[in-house]
Amino acid sequence: MRIELENLERRKGDFAHVYQPEDLNPVDERMNLIAPATVSGRVRLSGHQVFVNGHVETRAQVECDRCLKPVELPVNADFTLEYISGSDYESSQAVELTEEQLSVSVFDGDGIDVDEIVKEQILLAVPTRMRCREDCKGICPECGADKNKGECNCVTNEIDPRWAALKDLT
């Protein structure tokens, strides 16, 4: 979904959309949605700036960072975004930007891509290093066995890679 700014009445408007999982999948190489994603929010123009705020809700399935087992989790994200058009951004480069303005996104000046916002918010809401459980033991680098299901018979795999270099010195 894209919001065309020229269609906004009185320079503001509400939006809402339901994305089916297949509309957005894969969200990235390790994440898929397993439920529809609902987004709703409000767009407001102020001068040359566009403010978008809203809420995204869905359920995602992410690979465990250690054992690669799929983990499901709910996503509930509120967002507040600010955009300026590309040409305004370029002219503002001449002026010193304040800390706050650095979080501004640039858009083409005609419309806001809601698909992009939804994907980005889902990615931000999910931890970058997702664990299926706090003490996940991961998979054996030698035989690929899931160590949560019991130790395998590999004996040489206990060296932490950070120490492996030291071992070579002796």
Would you tell me which residues interact with Zn ion (CB under 5 A)? 64, 66-67, 132, 136, 140, 142-143, 145, 152, 154
- Shortest Cβ 164–Zn ion spacing (Å): 17
Angle of CA points 165, 168, 170, to nearest 5°: 120
How, if at all, do strands 37-46 and 70-85 pair? Answer: unpaired
Q: In one letter, which amino acid is 51?
A: F
For Zn ion, the closer of residues 45 and 140 by Cβ is 140
- Tokens representing residue 9 in the block: 């009445």
For Zn ion, the closer of residues 135 and 168 by Cβ is 135
- Shortest Cβ 51–Zn ion spacing (Å): 40
For Zn ion, the closer of residues 12 and 133 by Cβ is 133
For Zn ion, the closer of residues 67 and 117 by Cβ is 67
Task: Single out the residue of 170, 149, 167 nearest to residue 158, CA to CA.
Answer: 167
Angle of CA points 135, 32, 16, to nearest 5°: 120
- Shortest Cβ 60–Zn ion spacing (Å): 16
d(CA 141, CA 66): 11
φ/ψ of residue 118, rounded to 5: -60, -45
For Zn ion, the closer of residues 52 and 139 by Cβ is 139
- Shortest Cβ 143–Zn ion spacing (Å): 3
- Shortest Cβ 72–Zn ion spacing (Å): 13
